[in-house]
Amino acid sequence: MALGIRKTCLSLVFLGFLALDCASAQSWRPLGPPGGDARTLAVDPSRPQRVYLGTTDGHIFASRDGGAHWQRLGGALLAPNAVITSIVIDPRDSATLFASVWTPEPDGEGGGIYASHDSGSTWSESGLAGHGLRALIQSPSDPDILIAGGLNGVFRSSDAGRTWERISPLGDGELRNFDALAVDPQNPDVIYAGTFHLPWKTVDGGRQWIPIHEGMIDDSDVLSLAVDSANPVQIFASACSGIYRSVDSGMHWKKVQGIPFSSRRTPVIQLDPSHPATLFAGTTEGLWKTADDGLTWRRISPADWVVNSLTFAAPGTGAGAVSQLLAGTEQLGVLASDDGGEHFRPANDGFDHRRILSLAADPHQPGHLAAVLAGAPDAIVATEDGGGTWSALGGGLVPESVRRVFRSPAGWLAALSAGGLARFDSTAGSWARVGNLSGFPDETSHKSSNAKKKSEQVFAARINDMAFADAGWFAAAAEGLFVSRDAGSSWAALPIGPGGLPVDSVRVSSDGQRIRLVSSGAMLFSDDAGQSWKWHDLPFESGGATRVEFVNDATALAASRTGLYVSHDAGASWHLAGAGLPAAAVQGLIIRPGRWLISLNGNVIYVSRDSGANWARLRTAPESVYAAALGQVDALTAEAGSELIYAATANDGLYVLDLTTSPAVASNVPAGR
């Protein structure tokens, strides 16, 4: 599946300790891949071409052209589990926004209300801190009234979010776990609420609540409610047992027929404002549509779409502007339709919200990269034009089946989650498992070839890292160190210690003589192709090594959980890298002639041009929301034969920096310790 084209850019500057080359700001360019999980969508009622998007990790995006292009704004609550469940735009002032947040946690759930008064650029808490909120609405007849539904009740603000009061009884066994809210368009005291067990209603602003589930299957988790603004007595409700319609303000319900039982999970329903009889249902098995008030339904999307949000937006205000149906989905991002859902196209330009789990560059083809993405529809995606376009890299693998991707001398390799390797066949355009586990053929052996074949087993080691040398391919795995002398066709264990120690990373010299390993925080060095090994340890306060890199015969670098360590005597002694580098876990590491670069957990990227004695930090300019994105760089890689540096982020895809055009700026920032 094509993932689209990336057009926007990002500017950053070097700030650091060391006086380096004199130049101006550096330029990071985002490269995608486009898309990601879009949890909620909201349209500005006074500017219907302006759309807001909320993610599952607290980020907010905005589009000024009906979803054609997106820009990353500030975050309401930036956290890996901060789900933006609703976004509300004040119809009186488009610069005022509210967002409800839910943070599911193993030991309790939380969240709150967040407000922005500058069109989403900055956000601050606006009440209900610690409450896991699943829904937020604003009264059409009195915009000062906001209503929030959470795991422990329904809350109302009568002063535009400044103060809140509980309007559902505390500790009630049924009036809890609220997933959906709706309010009568003419009377703000009439509120409908969907819980994990059937819907409820209040006609007096919450003083009394009555169950309204006659006609519904008992134990229906009500996920969404939609009131017909033109005919407020007509209400639709989606539940785990199906979609229901009421024509008497929720007092009686009738199940809408047509959607198969397997598609019963319907997170969102959306009335078409231009066609009263048309209703869309976003389900866990695609998008469905009815044009006759729910009498008949048909699916208008592939069955593997998971639709979280639906809204209508206008791409512009000029002549011929057509309202678009926008669908926020899991994995695929935003999808847009100009013809009522008959055809959809990706609308993710600027919405690059992917987590890159693994990244590899082709040393022989500039701009050719492959990546493993979290929560993506394709197991591995690739670009051949430096991120201009992305597409699935072949078939034969399923999402979440791949741990790592590597570029070997013979092509792309995938380390499988279940163990073993797959190789990409560029001719066939597909992946196939490769590699047997066996001893290497010995010319003096008297075993027959048939006996050798019987002793071979499928290579199924759980691979953490790989290194490629002229003398062979090396695989660091949970089961130990393995080597192949025939381009991955057969593998043999290379003993490194008693009991098959796990190996986290491996680096090998081109002749295969010098091998450097990390195993459970300790380092093992061999200078005779693995015949003998010597143990090396970092200082206790390091927390143990996570990765080791060659620089030259005498110099090596060790990444640790608390910083970067350097040895200038072949591993005999180690010291922390020099001034300007904070103590933090090292995520990525690149060694280039005259330049070392690392990414740190919770920081950005640092560079040294004097063998680690001093470091300069790459920071955003100005300090903006992109600082948070680039502050979560999980991996770095370099393109061979060029000065291009690629940064794989935890939630915003891939960035590239050309060091030749943007050397560092001198500054005086004190050491980070």
Give the whole-angstrom CA distance, residue 596 versus residue 660: 14
Residue 417 lies in a domain: yes
Give me the domain span that covers residue 576.
354-658
pLDDT, residue 617, reads 80
Q: Which stretch of DSSP H or E encloses residue 99?
A: strand 97-103
pLDDT above 70 (res 200) = yes
Residue 346 lies in a domain: no
- Tell me the one-letter amino acid at 331: Q
pTM strictly above 0.85: no
Query: How confident is the model over 125-159, as pLDDT tens digits?
Result: 999 999 999 999 999 999 999 999 999 999 999 99
Residue 58 lies in a domain: no
Query: How confident is the model over 555-565, as pLDDT tens digits?
Result: 999 999 999 99
Question: 440: which DSSP letter?
Answer: P
User: Is the CB of residue 57 less than 8 Å from the CB of residue 79?
Assistant: yes
Output Rg (C-alpha) for the chain, integer angstroms.
Answer: 28
Strand 490-493 to strand 436-437: parallel, antiparallel, or no bridges (unpaired)? parallel
Residue with tokens 């000024």: 64
Q: Which of 133-142, 198-207, 216-225, 631-640 has the lowest mean pLDDT?
A: 631-640
Strand 97-103 to strand 242-246: parallel, antiparallel, or no bridges (unpaired)? unpaired
| Span 295-321, average pLDDT | 82
pLDDT, residue 348, reads 94
Residue with tokens 């678009």: 324
214, β-bridge pairs: none
pLDDT, residue 106, reads 67
- Tell me the one-letter amino acid at 452: K
Strand 35-36 to strand 352-353: parallel, antiparallel, or no bridges (unpaired)? parallel
Residue 224 lies in a domain: no
Query: How confident is the model over 420-476, as pLDDT tens digits?
Result: 999 999 999 999 999 999 764 443 344 444 544 445 689 999 999 999 999 999 999
pLDDT, residue 107, reads 60
pLDDT, residue 43, reads 95
- Percent of the chain residues topping a pLDDT of 90: 57
Chain CA centroid to CA 638, Å = 22
Residue 561 lies in a domain: yes
Give the whole-angstrom CA distance, residue 607 versus residue 600: 11
Average pLDDT, the chain: 84
pLDDT, residue 16, reads 30
pLDDT, residue 25, reads 44
pLDDT, residue 505, reads 95
The number of domains in the chain is 1
User: Is the CB of residue 139 less than 8 Å from the CB of residue 133?
Assistant: no
CATH number at residue 452: 2.130.10.10
| Span 161-176, average pLDDT | 92
566, β-bridge pairs: 557, 575
Please, what sign has the CA dihedral across residues 581, 585, 587, 589?
Answer: positive
Residue 333 lies in a domain: no
pLDDT, residue 632, reads 67
Give the whole-angstrom CA distance, residue 663 versus residue 16: 12
Residue 445 lies in a domain: yes
Residue 73 lies in a domain: no
Q: End-to-end CA distance of the chain, in Å?
A: 47
Query: How confident is the model over 582-612, as pLDDT tens digits?
Result: 888 888 888 887 888 888 875 578 888 888 8
| Span 619-640, average pLDDT | 56
Considering only CA atoms, which of 440, 424, 442 is closest in space to residue 432?
A: 424
Residue with tokens 């380092």: 523
